[in-house]
A and B are shown apart, each in its own frame.
Chain A
Amino acid sequence: MTTTSHTHVELRPGAYADSVTLLQVSRQVQGLAGVQAAQVAMATALNLDVLTEMGFQVPGEATANDLVVAVRLDGEEHLADVLDGVAQALVDAARVPSGAGGAGDAVAPPRTTGAALRREPDSMALVSVPGDLAVLEAMDAVEAGRDVMVFSDNMPVEQEVALKRAAAGTGSLVMGPDCGTAVVGGIGLGFANVVEPGPVGIVAASGTGTQQLLALLAHAGVGVFSALGVGGRDLSSAVGGASTREALRRLDEDPSVELIVLLSKPPAPEVAAAIRSYADTLATPVTIALLGPDAPDITASAEAVLTRLGVAVPEWPVHGAAHPAAVGRWLRGLFVGGTLCDEAMLIASRRLGPLRSNIPLAPDQALPSSLTADAHTFVDFGDDALTVGRAHPMIDPTLRLDHLARAAADPQTAVILLDVVLGHGADDDPAASLAPALEPIRTPVIVSLVGTAGDPQGLDRQARALAAAGAEVHLSNASATRRAVELVPTYHGER
């Protein structure tokens, strides 16, 4: 065997596929004979960094509208076959799995949300196109008087304001932008857990916060028929709580809802006052669960909800036991859920002092772009800046697994804290890639496993597989964090 290789990089202007599809394509191409490395991706700034790091040189004229095919081969003789393989992978990925009509007089699929809603006027819309263009699809739905969930992030706030202003005129509910989770009429949208219908209605500015709440309530036997996301900025003074108000109104009108839980980051003070006084006008009681430094954690809020409903608070389950802490100084939090990361930081910082993060609690605690520091570090891999042109880490675990390996190899690491989020839309089997990565790690690993018994991945099976790989698995993110903090050696005595 020689160590020679052949590198091929080409731009395909005008070709487009979404980041998840291209992830599948890249994987398929990586598996072809003679391929050392392969990446098929839109040439966004982030993907260009990835390609550069992989040792590929992408022509300078590449724009985010160009598809890049980059492969490193054992030799040039493989190129033709591999390019055929790329073409085949793109065709396979583009194949519509079901529903499209048969041969002959097939009607082409609609090209905009507006056109689709003309064909199916009673639909609601789900928008997950790139964030700078999401307002176009969402506005189509609003103008058609339909509700829309905007999964896309990176939508400029002035567009969100305009979108919600238009929605107020047409009676549409805008869930988002950056709304990861919703349950509408019992159907999960985005990343949503499988829950039974029940007396609780949720209005939430946080996707993974909602998922934690759904998971805890489900464990206690309490169902949820509607969990309406509103987007993380809805209660900012710019947006003014437009969607929160509409979502509260909808749930108040629903006779099956006995208790409304409003789950939000700390709102702008004037918005908080307005929402509170609006909530007071509703017939249905509203429990406000705020996320923030001086607020109870989500587990405590779930317990308060249960108590208010007269349901006994159960023991939150734990599987496995962490390795004892041996060496190292730092807690490493590696998260896919933004709110889960935030909650863990708030709990950990009370005991450990300042933490460094890419979503820092204070601006001076920001992590550099390497995402590493000689400190307690918390990384949210689902943050907007890390998902431009790339699939969400709940779908694509690669980036986090890479950082997990780095954290485990760092002798300064004392404890590793991870979240794993189940439900529709998420990785089919997160333990399949995570458990083998955990197996060799001797550092204690604590996992918050957020899911319900009904989730397609199998809550129990995931818990067992992760516990068998040496992790200690909690359903409550707050409990998991407290446990991780206890295991940090510096916690005892030094502080």
Chain B
Amino acid sequence: MTHVVSSGIDLLATAVEDQAVTVTRVDWRPPMPGTAADLATVATDPLRAAANQQALAAFLGVTARLVDVAPASEVLGLERGHFLHAGPPIGWDRASGPLRGGLMAAAAFEGLVDDPEDAAALFESGSFTLEPCHHHHAVGPMAGVVSPSMWMFVLADDTAGGRRTFCSLNEGLGKVLRYGAYDDTVLTRLRWMRDVLGPALQRAVRGTESVDVTGILTQMLQMGDEAHNRNRAGTLMLLRDLSPALVGSGVDTADLAQVFRFIGGNDHFFLNLAMPACKLALDAARDIPGSTMVVAMARNGTDFGIQVSGTGDDWFTGPAQVPEGLFLGDYGPEDANPDIGDSAITETAGIGGFAMATAPAIVRLVGGSVPDALAATRRMHEICLGENPRWSIPVLEFQGVPSGIDVTRVCRTTILPQINTGMAGRVAGTGQVGAGLVTPPAEVFPAALARLAELSRQRAATTPS
């Protein structure tokens, strides 16, 4: 015996060390309050270990390819007056400023009202349908509003099942719909994206081999992107892959120049491919009885919700937190809306805040330091089931990113997932006010654990031992 891992009484560890054996001491602390019994039930669930292995393997086995670009009305079957939004389900009555702003912009964009301000009363009266993106295999950054005329990236898994995921096209930074802005510049840009950008991308994608989005993620993680708040390398690689087909698409050259300028000028363009790629992989891990792996983290600006493989479509929600970080101009914390967007799907998949160590260029943007970034990624390994060998971090000796957030490990360690995020203004119409770091509300994990434990007890009661 050459090595002992000791948790608990330090004196026992010292007694082993006194015999010239190396000891790794676990920095053990009590779990989240009230979770001990549920943790024991889930830890001894005979399905858990194999279920988690299966979930992690399914997640890691997915290669996401960009196969099409098309309007939401076609690929999602969205009808007039039907809107998708980020996060867990919510009605207009509880919707935050930026979500309301995004919905108002989308209503005007769809021609349902002339003035976005007029849309509020219609939403209030229940004239429109609201549903989470996640319920339609879609994800949306920030407000995540999707309406029928918006063009969507379509991603497919080339290994199995024909599953698809969807995400709208990224509008850029500043005053944009997803941050809750709805003035004329926002609507003008959305119309151009509908009339020029979407069709051009569709021609390009249909005219070339599908783009390996998972492969680009592999490369961009080694080029300083963490694929949530920094997507610069990924955006350029996408342009590289699509350029020949774009140029050969027959699109008017003046329009084409605008398309290149727009994508090249928007460092976040690739985010809207990273997100559905993450969702596609995580969806493969859904619905495995006994699995404690988190398959979605999403926020609607009011609630933060998670979904877990072993608990089906249930959402476990708590109040969304206000991020800590840096503010644009003279905005301050009081201007920021609580956390919003489906983009935490990137962290759920082990990138974004989980891969902070690979993106030192942006640690200051989110108010941190390089050692903080290294420590953050290492800390996330404590709450994950495994590593992703395809997505590795050079500065950590090419260790794979932490993958498969485990509800039990979160409850045991009290370490919460770290999420990199943009901050939307609290008031509808404001736009972006900053960027920073945020965590889920702690209570969503014990809530999910309690449900996992309940299901485990039900199985034990019906299975003869």
Contacts and interface: CB of A to CB of B under 8 A. Distances in A.
Nearest to B45: A162
8 contacts: A18-B9, A19-B9, A98-B17, A110-B382, A111-B28, A112-B409, A132-B40, A141-B5
A117 B5 contact: yes
A129 B43 CA distance: 16
A166 B47 CA distance: 11
B188 interface: no
Nearest to B33: A65
B355 to A, nearest CB: 17
B9 A151 contact: yes
Interface of B: 1-19, 21-31, 33, 36-37, 39-40, 43-44, 46, 49, 371, 374-375, 378-379, 381-382, 408-409, 412-413, 415
Contacts of A141: 5
A488 interface: no
Given A65-B30, A96-B25, A98-B17, A137 B7 contact: yes
Given A124-B4, A136-B31, 8 more contacts: A18-B10, A113-B7, A120-B24, A133-B40, A136-B39, A152-B8, A156-B40, A166-B44
Contacts of A115: 26, 381-382
Interface of A: 16, 18-21, 63, 65, 96-99, 105, 107-120, 122-130, 132-133, 135-137, 139, 141, 143, 151-152, 156, 158-159, 162-163, 165-166, 184-190, 192, 391, 395, 424-425, 456
A162 B46 contact: yes
B43 A139 contact: yes
B44 A135 contact: yes
Given A16-B29, A116-B26, A163-B44, A126 B3 contact: no
B5 A125 contact: yes
Nearest to A169: B49
A133 B23 contact: no
Contacts of A120: 3, 5, 24
A392 to B, nearest CB: 9
Nearest to A132: B36
Contacts of B36: 132-133
Contacts of B13: 126
Given A123-B4, A136-B39, A189 B16 contact: yes
Given A107-B378, A136-B43, A129 B27 contact: no
B14 A137 contact: no
A151 B33 CA distance: 23
Nearest to A133: B36
Contact of B374 (A96, A97, A105): A105
B3 A123 contact: yes
Contacts of A159: 40, 44
Nearest to A104: B371
Given A111-B382, A120-B24, A139-B44, A21 B10 contact: yes
Sorted nearest first, the 8 A-B pairs with minimum C-beta distance are A128-B8, A162-B44, A424-B15, A123-B3, A109-B27, A129-B8, A116-B5, A128-B9
A63 B33 contact: yes
Given A98-B17, A125-B7, A187-B19, A113 B26 contact: yes
B44 A425 contact: no
A192 B36 CA distance: 30
A424 B27 contact: no
Contacts of A188: 15-16, 19
A130 to B, nearest CB: 8
A118 B399 CA distance: 12
Nearest to A428: B11
Max chain B CB contacts within 10 Å: which of A111, A123, A135?
Answer: A111
Contacts of B382: 110-112, 115
Given A97-B14, A123-B4, A187 B21 contact: yes
B8 A127 contact: yes
Nearest to A143: B49
Contact of A20 (B10, B25, B381, B413): B10
A336 B2 CA distance: 31
A110 B5 CA distance: 10
Contact of B7 (A107, A129, A135): A129
Max chain B CB contacts within 10 Å: which of A136, A165, A190, A424?
Answer: A136
Max chain B CB contacts within 10 Å: which of A125, A133, A192?
Answer: A133
Given A111-B413, A425-B11, A126 B5 contact: yes
Contacts of B24: 109-110, 116, 119-120, 123
A127 B7 contact: yes
B9 to A, nearest CB: 4
Nearest to B32: A65
A65 B29 CA distance: 10
Contacts of A129: 7-8, 28
Nearest to A136: B43
Contact of A126 (B12, B374, B409, B415): B12
Nearest to B2: A122
Nearest to B39: A136
A185 B16 CA distance: 12
Nearest to A456: B18
Contacts of A190: 12, 15
Max chain B CB contacts within 10 Å: which of A110, A143, A391?
Answer: A110
Contacts of B43: 135-136, 139
